[in-house]
Every structure is written in C-alpha cells, then in structure tokens.
Amino acid sequence: MRKFVLIIFCVLSISCMAAKQLSEQAQIHLLTCTQGEQVWSKYGHTAVRVIDPANHLDIVFNYGLFSLMADDFYIKFVKGETYYQLGIEPYSYFIAFYSSIGRTTYWQELNLSIEQKQRIFDALMTNYHPDNRYYLYNFVFDNCATRPYHLIKQALQDTIISDYQGYVNHDFRSTISHYTGAHSWVDFGINLVFGKEADQAMTNEERLFLPEELMNYFAHARLSDGTPLVLRQEIGPFAPTHTPWYANCWLGIALFAALMLLLSFCDRRRQRLSIAVDIILCIIYLLLIALVIFLTFFSCHPLVGFNWRLFLLPLIHLCARLVYFIR
C-alpha cells in the first residue's frame, strides 16, 4: 500500500512539473562527473540540472540509468540492445551519490534566455514521459552526453561555435584508449573487437560522446552572435587513473609468450608435443574469433570488426611452438 501511494505521489509530482512555467530565477546547469572504477564509468558522466527557487525546483535529469536486474540484461548487452532510461532525482541525492564513490561533479550554468530555459525544461519533461524515457543505448552515438547536447542545441535554436580543439581529427580508437589506457586489459579487450571503423577521424560533434569533451566544448562555446554559452562554471580536469604494474596486459602477454616457449623447450626435451594444451588454446582463439564475428554481423555495437590484434595471441603461440621443431 505504501509503495502504491509513493508511486501515485511521484506521478502527480511529475505531472505538475510537466505543466510548470519556469521563473526568471531559473537556471540550467550541465553537470559533468569524473570517471569511476567500473568499466562503464571510465569515461565519466553527464546530466542536466534544473534550478528554480521560485518553484522549489532543484532536480537532475539523468540519461544514464540502467538495471543489471533487467530481463536478459547480459544477453542484450552482448547484442548491443541495452536500453537505458532518463531518470529524475533531487540534486542533493545525485551529488551525495557521486561524492560517496569518490567522483567529482563539475557544473556549468548555461547563458540562456527564459524562453530557451523553458524549451529545455519542456523537452526534458517530454523525454521523461513513459513512452519516451527509454532509449537504445549506443556507447558512441547515443549516450548520456550526446542526448543532453542535442537537446540543448535544438532548444537554443541557434548555432553553437566552439574554439576547443580537444580530440579534433583524432580517431575513435586512440581517443577511447586515452580513458582506458591506464586499465590495460580493458583497453586491450576493446581494441581486440574494434575494427577499421574505429580508426576513422571523428567529426567535431562525434567527439562529444565523451563527457569531458562536452564540458570543455561548452566552456569555449559561443552562439552565432558571439554570446558565451556558459555564464558561470566550476570545472577541472579528469584525474588520470593508473594500473598496478602487475596488472599490465603487455606484461601478461609477455608472460604468455614465455610460458609457451618454456612449454616448447620442455616438450622438445621429452620428445613429445603437449597437444592437449594446443587444442585448448586453439578452442579459445576460435571462440574469440566467433565472438567478434557475432558482434560484427549480429549485434548493434558500433565500430566492431576484425583487426590484426585478434591474431596477436595465436601468432605468439605459433612462433613459440615452432621452437619444438627446430633441430
């Protein structure tokens, strides 16, 4: 009964907000959270804050909500069919959560007219409608940063010009590696499945899928009449993260090569090849290749395809095992 009452209360509250006119005191902030420890949080996060003291509003619109408990979540994740949703929460809850996990939240107050603020608020509320709040998440082209950017750009009804260069003319692979490079096994795994599409140069807007890029882009942005897009801000760099030396993937690959060489020398002394080990490893290679084929042809994941890194481990294995046959 209590849960039912809370649901009705939330529905009525959202209905009231949907019809609300913002006052002259209203502010729209772009929020940017620094990276976290989980794989999906390595690139940071973006949200939109709406403040209006006259209407007792201080809420955050968050496009980054998903549930690991959703039906067939992991199957859908592999297929690239994961649905994220837009959520609304009090700013105090939002900032408390990110502070509790050691992530800094930067803010930028947008320099907007009351009409532009209202259009952004109305568009956010339209997005929050039950028929609209769920969207097919795409890591590069449709995520928590691209959605606020396109919504704000459309509501401005103006051209956004920015002097910020950032990763202009960089490709997707090197740009993503900038954020995952400190976690080398994650970076290696991503590069293992990325195809040649990931080596294409990003356009000016494509790089804004990264929250830090969007923040810096807005910090140097102006409208067509020269008006700065940001009125006030408190921003800073994303602190680099580091992997312990023993967790470096290249150390792991070197260790794999050394073990294969040692196995070959031992087999040579015994005059007998350890076929079982080779068969197990070949099965693993085939499974990796099958996974990439599946991701390439049967999933919605962007930038996936064959590349030379997929054959790195089999090549090391083959070269090391040739030692057995050298006389």
DSSP labels for 225-248?
A: TS-BSEEEEE--PPPP----GGG-
Residue 204 and residue 164: Cα distance in Å, rounded?
Answer: 10
Rounded to a whole number of angstroms, the CA Rg of the chain reads 25
pLDDT band of 16, cuts 50, 70, 90: low
Winning range, highest mean pLDDT, from 5-9, 86-90, 165-169, 193-197: 86-90
Written as six digits, the tokens of 270 are 């015994």
Would you kindly state where each structural domain of the chain is located, as residue ranges?
A: 25-168+204-234, 245-325
pLDDT in tens, 262-294: 988 898 888 888 889 899 999 998 998 888 888
Helix-helix angle 312-321:275-298, to 10 degrees: 160
pLDDT in tens, 58-90: 999 999 998 777 777 777 777 788 899 999 999
Kindly tell me if the per-residue pLDDT of 6 is higher than 60.
no
- For the chain, how are helix, strand and coil distributed in percent, rounded to 5? 50, 15, 30
Residue 260 and residue 242: Cα distance in Å, rounded?
Answer: 29
pLDDT in tens, 120-166: 999 999 999 999 999 999 989 999 999 999 999 999 887 888 888 88
CA-closest candidate to residue 66, choices 52, 57, 77: 77
Handedness of CA 156, 110, 102, 186 (dihedral sign): positive
Q: What does CATH list as the number for 25-168+204-234?
A: 3.90.1720
pLDDT of 194 reads: 87
DSSP state of 35: P
Q: How far is CA 220 from CA 58, 136, 166, 256, in A?
A: 26, 30, 11, 47
pTM of the predicted model over 0.75: yes
Per the model's pLDDT, the better-predicted residue between 315 and 246 turns out to be: 315
